[in-house]
Chain A
Amino acid sequence: MKLIENVSRHVSRRGFLQGALASGVFVLSVRFVPEPLWAAEGDAAAVPFEPSLWMSIASDDTVTIVAHRSEMGCGSRTALPLVVADELDADWSKVKIEQAIGDPKYGDQDTDGSHSVRGSFDLMRRVGATGRVMLISAAAAQWGVSPKDCTTEPHFVVHRASGRKLGYGEVATAAAKLPVPKQEDVPLKARSEWRYIGKESNSLFDLPEIVTGKAIFGMDATMPGMVYASVEHPPVLGQKIKSYDDKAALKVPGVQKTLTIDVFKPPHMFQPLGGVAVIADNTYAAFKGRNSLKVEWDVNSSPHSVYNSAPFRKTLEATSRRPCKVVRNVGDVDAAFAKGGKIIEAEYYTPHLAHASMEPPVAVAEYRDGKVLAWAPTQNPQAVQETIAGVLGIKKEDVTCHVTLLGGGFGRKSKPDQVAEAAVLSKQLGKPVKVVWSREDDIHFDYFHSVASMYMKAAVGSDGKPTAWLQRTVYPPIGSTFNASATYADDEMGLGWNNLPFDIPNHRAENGPADYHVRIGWLRSVANIYHAFAISSFADELAKAANKDSAQYLIDLIGPPRIVALDLKGDEAEDAKKYPLDTARLRRVVEMVAENSGWGKQAMGKGHGMGIAAHRSFLTYVATVVEVEVDGRGQVHIPNVWTAVDAGTVVSPDNIRNQFEGAAVFGTSLALFSEITATNGVIDQSNFHNYQITRMNRAPRHVDVQIVKSEAPPAGVGEPGLPPFAPALYNAVFAATGKRVRELPLSKTKLV
């Protein structure tokens, strides 16, 4: 099935690199023979260089820059155009951003993996700089001077000697007739010349529209003549409809009719779940009609009704106690364990999580004459094209996907099953359909963050340092979403498991198999959440067992400055060339955060403590200290969080602080409150009363974020703040109470 081949490439969270060249809109350029440049670097850089795809300049001075990545709150839609504008030397107030539709010509558009800026930074610089060279050339020709004697200031070309100026809009038409210069003839600005990159003044492009309610999210998208749909999905993954009664539903004012959607054929990928759709004049009527539906499900039609979280946990734990598949081996842990000495073991458990973006899944789509037009809050418009094409049996080129702002995404909105539902229903109805998921739909039918069990074992020498460290992790893998027989993790190993940065002579990392019973997906920082929880909790356990200071012990574990040797493949190996795992950078963020938090300098009373953790993910080095106060009722309060971040070169520092402040809140949710469980294959939670996320009164009171000044290549920002948070908090709880808790969330454990 073509859909499988195409969409399953999302497992690598990249792909779609075979960009077909389309004619551009860049008024600066004529069409030219593309150069297949930078093919090894991935992302947008891997498609042929064609500046006309990315920007245009109108004679009224308006610079339009295309944002090919989605905006879900991380700032990508602003950051990449800022980079273009900087190298173009444009006046930001004259820049408009045009959101790209899904099209392989932009390279990979999947806004996930914290790689928007790192994947497109160099290309965006080159796009802007190319435009600047062409504007200078056009102005110089008009003046009859050498381009070498000209420079720019925002939105003007300037002749240095005479001081003459021409506005970008004035020379745009002439510049458009010039050939696009070769890369070697396009100088980039020196860092000292950057006007926008790295500046505190940068703010989100859409900020004014957001605060006035004018911003258009997926929930706000409309099409003329559209109807509204709410879908009753199978309560257990893969169940089929046995029968249904819609008499009461059809009596609800505003309800037009009901339709069925076929259940997916495994693997489920991003296909619709199936079910009964209620079509209505407005969202409320669709919801109300749906509540009146009576659907009987064929309970024998799915193997997943066996799923019960408590026994499943026992299965995961049993697997984690047995030898599993080796994913990294250094030295010989078995020989070291055989020598005896002090052996420390621990087991950690983390539950499923739901993304619970504030905007539930929603989309509007119209099928007409064999083509589909969709508007959706999607992290990946190309996956919308692929999925709808596969489900409806049309060409992906015949699916046009416009991208709205996303009311949060966190990985959920890389999966466009609800957009496919809208397209399927529209084909049946012959008019545009808006599918709106309720919060209950969102929580019941998520692509869940995986439940995981970790087993850790260390042999400790007389100095308290480990001589051997074994780590084993077991969970239903993301791969099961694309291959129903997948039981072992794949790319998740690179997410904090096959790259332990500690200086330990004998080390082995393993991964065990697990079956899936719900759709498994990626959630902000993905497997790093449970991997960092186990590793950073265990490091703290070893520190305490050795009676050492936790921060100093962590620094000793990281060891001397070096590039850690890793045996990596594919994307990870490519990343490692440009972004080697550098322990000096990890150590520096630990030292910074210890210094900034006053680590070890403050006397802590009963119920009061600090914890520390460090983790590198998405190529960014992060260390976090969490301070907790545990009150007489056992409730945890978080007066302070300190984080130090080395993300290499940064575009918008204030946005990065916002991302890391937010990661502390998101981290508080999963550390203290959130858990998804299943009973007989049905998810137990439904809305924010039983799937709790952090409210203001339980959030960290103060989050301090320090950014390392760095000229290293840009790394990830949206996700890396999350992994060290929960272990730092749990380590603080241990410091405050002497209780070592080894499972998320903390609300399941009585501290008093």
Chain B
Amino acid sequence: MIRFKVNGKEKTFNGDPDMPLLWYLRDVAQLTGTKFGCGMALCGACTVHQNGAAIRSCSTSMKEIGGTEITTIEGIAPMHPVQEAWMEIRVPQCGYCQTGQIMQAIALLKENKNPSDQDIDTAMAGNLCRCGTYQRIRAAIHQAAKQQSAKEMA
């Protein structure tokens, strides 16, 4: 029996301990905001937070999450400054990768409150967007950083 938390709620899991967290979230817990893109930690569509840090849920097995706290896009109280910035900049095209992008961006801003373009490139290079919204993602992260620091000042 594996015990863990998802979006603040206690959970247990008795199934195949090799099952990637991604498929637990999507097929068992019905939290479909986390997306399947590659299954090899190459695209970032499945990004969630484990104890606040961004991880790839497609390559994290259930046996690796025991005792930890998982946060998915559904657990981000709307609207986080990152989501607000995504709306204002109108980042998405198809939108499929965007929840992974947003989870990665939130984790970045937690560690680095004022990231440079270079910092953003480094943090976001693992998140693919086939529609090609990178320019807007970068702009939205800068904007979210500003909003976040303005809130903290106030």
Contact = CB atoms under 8 A, between A and B. Distances in A.
Interface of A: 71-75, 203-204, 206-208, 210-217, 219-220, 222, 228, 253-254, 282-285, 287-288, 356-360, 405-410, 436, 438-439, 654-655, 658-659, 661-666, 687-689, 693-697, 699-703
Interface string B100-116: 00100000000000000
B143 interface: no
A662 B132 contact: yes
Given A212-B83, A282-B19, A693-B130, 20 more contacts: A73-B92, A75-B93, A213-B34, A214-B33, A219-B96, A253-B15, A254-B15, A283-B23, A358-B94, A406-B96, A436-B36, A658-B90, A661-B135, A661-B136, A665-B131, A665-B133, A688-B42, A695-B126, A697-B122, A699-B132
Contacts of B79: 211-212
Contacts of B99: 210-211, 213
Contacts of A228: 27
B27 A282 contact: yes
3 closest Cβ pairs, A-B complex: A213-B33, A665-B132, A407-B96
A622 to B, nearest CB: 16
Contacts of B78: 212
B135 A703 contact: yes
A694 B129 CA distance: 8
A356 B15 CA distance: 31
Contacts of B18: 288
Contact of A73 (B16, B34, B94, B137): B94
A344 to B, nearest CB: 34
B138 interface: yes
A659 B128 CA distance: 16
A694 B38 contact: no
B40 A254 contact: no
B95 A405 contact: yes
A101 B81 CA distance: 36
9 contacts: A75-B93, A203-B87, A220-B32, A254-B16, A282-B28, A439-B37, A665-B131, A695-B125, A696-B121
A358 B32 contact: no
Interface of B: 15-16, 18-20, 23, 26-28, 30, 32-40, 42-43, 45, 72-74, 76, 78-79, 83, 86-87, 90-99, 102, 117, 120-122, 124-138
A712 B112 CA distance: 48
Given A408-B130, A408-B131, A211 B96 contact: no
B33 A662 contact: no
Contact of B93 (A658, A696, A697): A658
A207 B89 CA distance: 11
Contact of B23 (A284, A359, A665, A703): A284
A255 B23 CA distance: 15
A211 B132 CA distance: 16
A73 B93 contact: yes
Contacts of B131: 73, 358, 408, 662, 665-666
A696 B16 contact: no
A253 B16 contact: yes
A688 B40 contact: yes
A202 to B, nearest CB: 9
Contacts of B122: 697
Given A73-B95, A658-B133, A696 B90 contact: no
A690 to B, nearest CB: 10
A358 B45 CA distance: 8
A483 to B, nearest CB: 30
A523 B126 CA distance: 24
A256 to B, nearest CB: 14
Contacts of B39: 287, 438-439, 687
**Most B Cβ at <10 Å: residue of A285, A357, A697:** A697
Contact of A358 (B91, B102, B129, B138): B129
Contact of A696 (B20, B74, B125): B125
Given A207-B87, A219-B35, A661-B135, A357 B20 contact: no
A687 B131 CA distance: 17
B128 A407 contact: no
A695 B94 contact: no
B87 A213 contact: no
